[in-house]
């Protein structure tokens, strides 16, 4: 296994563990997470819907990362989900001026800067893995149009 392939597999493994753990933890502590998300700024009435869709999306991303054919879709989803989360946090700061304590499954009492930095780190990991897969697929396509010379 080459070093690039090993790094790619490690990134996918870390992302899988992260999203599966966060999704399961949010479902296991649905009462605490539900209270937090329904009282979060700028979410309002969507809080009850997000209480169930966020963990399901996180677990779905984890399962898509396991399936090698679906990894590209999952990596794009990781980038989109993390960017939406960071944009939401920034809009809370800008539009409400209300600073509330973030909910996190991985550690107790994180700051918003830590949450955003962690989200950016996950996005960069997904982008690195996505760039690796696009280079790998580009190499595969070159061989597809060659003739087999079978008579």
Q: Tens of pLDDT along 29-82?
A: 998 888 888 888 888 788 889 999 999 999 999 999 999 899 999 999 999 999
Write the burial class of residue 26 (CB in 10 Å: 0-12 exposed, 13-18 middle, 19+ buried): buried
The answer to whether residue 95 is domain-embedded is yes
pTM score, two decimals?
0.81
Per residue in 94-116, pLDDT tens? Answer: 888 776 777 777 777 777 888 88
The span from the CA of 75 to the CA of 54, in Å, is 16
With tokens 């996180």, the residue in question is 58
Structural domain span for residue 79: 3-136
The answer to whether residue 149 is domain-embedded is no
The answer to whether residue 141 is domain-embedded is no
The answer to whether residue 108 is domain-embedded is yes
With tokens 């960069």, the residue in question is 124
Determine how many CB atoms are found less than 10 A away from the CB of residue 23. 21
* Total domains in the fold of the chain: 1
**What per-residue confidence (pLDDT) applies to 143?**
53
């Amino acid at each position: 296994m080459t070093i690039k392939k090993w790094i790619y597999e490690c990134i996918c493994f870390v992302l899988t563990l992260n999203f599966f753990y966060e999704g399961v933890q949010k479902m296991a502590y649905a009462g605490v997470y539900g209270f937090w998300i329904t009282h979060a700024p700028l979410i309002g009435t969507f809080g009850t819907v997000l209480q169930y869709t966020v963990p399901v999306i996180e677990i779905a991303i984890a399962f898509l990362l396991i399936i090698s054919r679906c990894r590209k879709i999952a990596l794009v989803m990781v980038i989109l989900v993390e960017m939406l989360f960071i944009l939401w946090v920034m809009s809370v700061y800008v539009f409400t001026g209300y600073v509330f304590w973030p909910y996190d499954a991985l550690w107790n009492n994180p700051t918003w800067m830590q949450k955003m930095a962690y989200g950016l780190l996950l996005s960069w990991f997904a982008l690195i893995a996505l760039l690796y897969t696009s280079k790998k697929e580009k190499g595969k396509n070159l061989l597809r149009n060659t003739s087999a010379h079978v008579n």
